[in-house]
Amino acid sequence: MRDLTTLPDLRLALVQTAPVWQDPAASHAHFARLLEQARGADLVILPEMFSTGFSMDAAALAEEEQGPSRAWMLEQAARLDAVVVGSVITRAADGSYRNRLYWARPDGSCAHYDKRHLFRMAGEHEHYAAGSERVLLEVKGWQVRPLVCYDLRFPVWSRDPHHTDLLLYIASWPAARRNQWNRLLPARGIENLCYVAAVNRIGADGNGYPHAGDSQVLDFLGDSLLAAGDAEGVFQVSLSAQALARFRMRFPAYRDADEFELKV
């Protein structure tokens, strides 16, 4: 297990709002105004498909890998001196459409994660290709595992009590299933002995489905550190690496974890 005691606190900014339906330019302008409230954060988190809303019209809305939403995220990262995270409908180099999470850094570099579990009840698997690689990314020495919406229901894909300090979920999770959202998130923190941050959208999308928000941050005990409810805004909180290190030393359940191998 890594030594976390020398790491600084990590400040998060969760951006809970409604994207402008299938209008990236308007969504960019809307989010840019809100991001003025995110100054001082190290990691700024936007919801799933923040530039369009959760749409199955991939052929019409997909951006190239170096497209305008990715460029906008890099501009915001430089402006805020923070990592900015959100997912975008993207046409990959192989021609497939991806629900792609970008990790835009202030130095102009960018990593990505492609959503693994596609929500078949909305037909997402018919319009997008699933990702095949888990990703672990770093900010201020913290190890962060980014995941997208439906991934939350699959604990093996999230499982990593040895290396992950923060599980990060971005979502367009509908209000009809908010109880499951609020129950699964603390479970992921408890079983992985790590922090969890989750950002969901609010409002009705272009198909009329309402979203309740419930963006939140939880600690390694599954206890709430921040709960946004259904309010629009930017919500900030700081995470303590020292508190996480003390808990893992006092309760090293990770030492008894089962060995397994993922097949994708």
Q: Clarify whether 65 is annotated catalytic.
A: no
Q: Tell me the C-alpha to C-alpha distance, in Å, between residue 31 and each of 17, 93, 155.
A: 8, 27, 31
Q: Which of 140, 139, 28, 5 is nearest to 75 (CA)?
A: 28
Q: Tell me the C-alpha to C-alpha distance, in Å, between residue 176 and each of 117, 172, 227.
A: 19, 12, 18
CA–CA gap between residue 100 and residue 62 (Å, rounded): 10
Task: Give me the catalytic one of 48, 110, 124, 194.
Answer: 48
Residues 6+ apart with CB under 8 A from 154: 116, 117
- Residue 9's CB: how many other CB atoms inside 10 A? 14
Q: Clarify whether 48 is annotated catalytic.
A: yes
Q: Clarify whether 110 is annotated catalytic.
A: no
Task: Give me the catalytic one of 63, 115, 124, 194.
Answer: 115
Backbone angles phi, psi at 21, to 5 degrees: -60, 115
CA–CA gap between residue 184 and residue 182 (Å, rounded): 6
Task: Give me the catalytic one of 63, 110, 124, 149.
Answer: 149
Interaxial angle between packed helices 24-35 and 68-80, expressed in degrees from 0 to 180 and rounded to the nearest 10: 10
- Residue 115's CB: how many other CB atoms inside 10 A? 25
Q: List residues with catalytic annotation.
A: 48, 115, 149
